[in-house]
A and B are shown apart, each in its own frame.
Chain A
Amino acid sequence: MIGIVSYGAYVPTFRLSRDLMAKAWLRGSIGGERSVANNDEDSATMAVEAAFDCLQGKDRGGVTGVFFASTTAPYREKEISSLVAATVDLPGEILTADLGNGLRAGAAALRSAFDAVGNGSAQNLLVAAADCRLGYPQSEHEQSFGDGAAALLVGNSGVIATLEGHYAVSNEMMDVWRNAGDEFVRTWEGRWVLGEGYSALTEQAVKGLMKKKGLNAKGITLAAIPAPDGRSHRRMVQVLGFDKGQVVDPLLAQVGDCGAAHPLMLLVAALEAAKPGDTILMVAYGNGAEAFLFKVTDEIRNLASRRGIKGWLNSKLPLATYEKYLSYRGILETQPGDPFRLLPSATAYWRDVNSILRFHGSKCRNCGTLAYPIQRVCYTCRTKDSFDEVRLSDKKAKLFTFSLDNLAGRSDDPVVVQSVVESEVDNARIYCMMTDCQPKEVRVGMPLEFTFRRIYEGAGFQNYFWKCRPVR
């Protein structure tokens, strides 16, 4: 049996009130709030978060592939799936691929994962989709978009949901797009975009799938239907004939439209609400549409607990101002801070990958001291080159000491919480910055977890590393 084996998601901590955004431009607000990736987050780091959530309790050795999907990959040329694979600590002998350039990239990655596991080219394949698209300042898109990620593990044992049917249609139209080099999403006239684009194609795909499977709306337990806005969503639900109780919250009021990740995030929300025997419809739109029909198995009862969508949704901090959003997302250039004088090195990054990305410490085989980063000579007994590597990224920690450094930060986010952290694993010490926190609430001894972040750009590439954050 082939199907979804596990799921995970990620919603950034910061939420921005849409009323604040509207007020800045003296325009109407669409209401509610949207998620905003912190200034150290991007699609790659959010995909890593969702992947960690998805791999809770799963043997990494059995994962033989990673697909990454996004329309906002941090590099134009350079795989992110390989970065995700290394960071979540998967073995090297695996399949990796990136999918992008369209809003259906997440759904396409999921479909391709089923194909790959089905034809035997992978046993368990991790799909991680993330997006943080930019709407033009002042536009409705700016309010309606959100940042988020989802991950699904597709495999052939321990299946929690099988794929019962799939139906796809393609449709060439210039409705929403970004030219090469564009920062912001462009669009044509709204009535045509929604009417002939989103609405027509979503309806066509879902009805095509229902016809193919001989089903009507009553035959579906949970419908995960993304939409660019609440009104289009309500209309689509009505057109397709679903009752309120069948429809998964489209996450537009609290998160926003997370692009290529959004259909998968709604599928995760459906899975966390589902009972054995339920059927789940998921549809994705973007230059056409495709609909998936899943059936939930008894195995879902055995899945280890995870954050999914629910776990992240109410764990949040308000982003204080619209201006911070503009600056965090690189739209507004703020006063530069003191330049960061140490450039990263691609070779050092590559050579020390087990410490840097896999976040392994070394446990001395002679005296048991656990040190991070990997030490060839033990701190305690000086035994040379005799250690086992231990992954620390998914282990909890607590704060040993800290300072609130007002000089080291960015001008739009000036306080750097310098943190010396003690891991729950053998009290290994890690020195890092704390993120997604309220500096005034930081205390010695507080529980922390690690999170993979973009530290800074230097030497022409992104320097990713680990930070800590209060447990969410």
Chain B
Amino acid sequence: MESIKDRVAIIGMGCTQFGERWDAGLHDLAIEAAYEAYQDAGVGPEDIQACYMGTVTAPMIGVGGTVVADALKLRGIPIIRNENWCATGHIALIEAVMAVASGAYDVVLALGVEKLKDTGFPGLGTGRGMHPVYEARRTSPGSFSLIATRYFHQYEIDPEKGKEMIGKIAVKNHDNGSLCPKAHFHNRITLEDVMKAPIIAWPLGLYDCCGNSDGSAAAIITRADLAKKFRPDPIYVKGFGVAMDSMLPHFRPGFSWTSFDALVKSSHKAYEMAGIQNPREDLDIAEVHDCFTITELAIYEDFGFSPRGKAREDIDSGFFTLKGGLPVNADGGLKCFGHPVGASGIRMTYEVYKQLQGKAEKPERQIKNPRRGLSHTFGGPPQMSAVAIFGNEKG
């Protein structure tokens, strides 16, 4: 097996304003993201040879990849759609990377888009997924808070103290989001706000949960050896890892609910490809799947950012803040961008791409001299994880 390292580069990216985009439909969002990416890469639609796209909740709007064909008029080329829940955007990106690495295409568009705010309901809804009979009435907050309850139990943390521990992750991400113009939410919050907020799915309260937003993000991918023809500062793909686990971890004998095989295996595969020995030291920025605060905590431990059971110490010391040893979710994460499912993976990669280029919109949120960045999404009830690692120079 050959590594993907330094064979493929991103030469342009686009990201819409995230939020309650009452003004924009699915097509508008895709156009906004794609045309920013075209401009950033200095290409036009006629240069795109294939498109890998992902969207989850909009089967009524178009089947297959027709959303892109209809919105962007990219006709006569392959448009391959995937649906992998929250990891959908990353899978589109990784498919595009593999298509270029194979030599089949030189310039490929990866696009994720989701229009959540046309359904009449605030959340992702109940009754999705597992089985027409076993499916319980549950929502995403209800599914992910199973992790928090078990984590508190396993590490003998009083639930109120546990809520404070993960609440600090929300405070950090809101601090970061307040500086990021494209985020849905720009409000800074205090730990007291988190603790007093209404409960959504105990133990998770309002500020432990990401918002529901509309959005889209896009990337233009080419061969590494062609990249500098398009721009002086392409971002190289260093590695990726994808791991799927059972759709029903809830029924899986022995499942711990505090550590996830899919997180461990996807990150380790990506580290191996990218040549990362110690992620805590070797990474300069990580955009990880903070759909809920407890998810971000589980990722710290499964990705090797924090020793197992010790994430609390790193949270308390501010290790993951913008000025800390490893800034995590420097743009405010899903907490502040919301989670338009198919778009999120590429939106997170957009933040890593801009930071590695030194082009964060505001100097106060630019990380100093970053070299390596990671983006990641984790989906399902939860069981599917996708990781990608990028760098701003070869080697």
A residues neighboring B (CB under 8 Å): 337-345, 348-349, 352, 356, 369-373, 379-380, 400-409, 416, 418, 420, 426-433, 439, 444-445, 455-456, 463, 465
Contacts and interface: CB of A to CB of B under 8 A. Distances in A.
A379 B126 contact: no
Contact of B132 (A342, A379, A426): A342
Contacts of A380: 253
Contacts of B255: 420, 429
B343 to A, nearest CB: 21
A321 B202 CA distance: 24
Nearest to A459: B132
B254 A400 contact: no
Leading 6 A-B pairs by shortest Cβ distance: A405-B142, A431-B250, A403-B145, A340-B127, A404-B202, A401-B150
Contact of A407 (B128, B142, B252): B142
Interface string B195-214: 00011111110000000000
Interface string B320-364: 000000000000000000000000000000000000000000000
Interface in B113-135: 121, 123, 125-129, 131-135
B187 interface: no
A338 to B, nearest CB: 5
B189 interface: no
Nearest to B200: A406
A420 B127 contact: no
Contacts of A463: 132-133
Q: For B128, B131, B137, which residue has the most chain A Cβ atoms within 10 angstroms?
A: B137
B128 A341 contact: yes
B136 interface: yes
Main SS of chain B's interface residues?
A: loop
Contact of B127 (A342, A371, A418, A433): A342
A433 B146 contact: no
Contacts of B135: 342
Given A338-B125, A338-B126, 18 more contacts: A337-B126, A341-B125, A345-B133, A356-B133, A371-B251, A373-B131, A379-B246, A401-B257, A403-B202, A404-B199, A407-B123, A420-B255, A427-B253, A429-B254, A431-B136, A439-B202, A444-B149, A465-B133
B138 interface: yes
B149 A407 contact: no
7 contacts: A341-B126, A342-B135, A405-B142, A408-B139, A416-B137, A418-B143, A429-B255
A362 to B, nearest CB: 11
B153 interface: yes
Contacts of B126: 337-341, 407-408
Contacts of B139: 405, 407-408
B248 interface: yes
A342 B129 contact: yes
Given A403-B201, A407-B123, A373 B252 contact: no
Contacts of A432: 136
Contact of B149 (A349, A352, A402): A402
B257 A409 contact: no
A369 B133 contact: no
A380 B254 CA distance: 10
B141 interface: yes
A142 to B, nearest CB: 29
